[in-house]
Amino acid sequence: MNNLIKQFYTAFQNKDAEKMVACYHDDIVFEDPAFGVLKGERALNMWRMLCANYKDLKIAFSEVEANDSTGKTHWEACYTFSQTGRKVHNVIEAKFVFKDGKIIKHNDSFDLHTWAKQALGFKGLLLGGTFFFKKKLNQQTNNLLSKFEQNI
C-alpha cells in the first residue's frame, strides 16, 4: 500500500485530481480540521476543487509507511490563501485505512491555530484555536465545495 499512498501524493503534486480520486474506495470517508467529515463523491470533489483552485500549490510528502490494512505519511502544502493573499505552509499528518486495495478512510490532522495565523493573520491568531472558528471554517469550506459541485 506504500505505492498507493505515493501514487496519491504524486498525483496531488501534479494537480491530477482524477488520479488522486482513483486511489479512493467508493465508500471513502475523509476528515480534516478544515472540511470536517466528507463522504463518497463529496470527498472526491474536495480534491478536484483544491487541484483546480490553487494554482501555486506545492506539495511534498515523506515518511510513507503502510501495510495491507493501514498507512500513514507526513505531507506539507505551500500555497497562497485566496481570501487574504497570505502565504500558508501547512504541515499535515495523514492516516489511512485500506479496503479492496484502495483508501477507504483518510484522516488529515494539522494544527488549525497555526494554519489560521498564517492564512488570516491577527484574526487567525486570536480566533484560530476556538471551536467557533473551526465550526465557521467548516461551514465556509463546505459552502465553497457545494458551489464547486454545482459547476461540475
Q: For the segment 85-124, what is each residue's pLDDT rounded down to a tens digit?
A: 999 999 999 999 999 999 999 999 999 999 999 999 999 9
Helix axis angle for 112-120 and 131-150, nearest 10°, is 70
H or E element at residue 147: helix 131-150
As for how many domains the chain has, the answer is: 1
Whether residue 104 lies inside any domain: the answer is yes
Q: For the segment 56-82, what is each residue's pLDDT rounded down to a tens digit?
A: 999 999 999 999 999 999 999 999 998
Confidence band of 148 (pLDDT split at 50, 70, 90): very high
- The string of DSSP letters for 44-89 reads HHHHHHHHHH-TT-EEEEEEEEE-SSEEEEEEEEEEEETTTTEEEE
Average pLDDT over residues 10-30: 98
H or E element at residue 134: helix 131-150
Length of the chain: 152
Q: For the segment 98-109, what is each residue's pLDDT rounded down to a tens digit?
A: 999 999 999 999
H or E element at residue 99: strand 86-99
Question: How many Å apart are CA 97 and CA 23, to the nearest integer?
Answer: 12
Q: Is pLDDT at 152 greater than 90 in this prediction?
A: no
H or E element at residue 148: helix 131-150
CATH code for the domain of 125 = 3.10.450.50
Q: Containing domain of residue 47, as a range?
A: 2-132
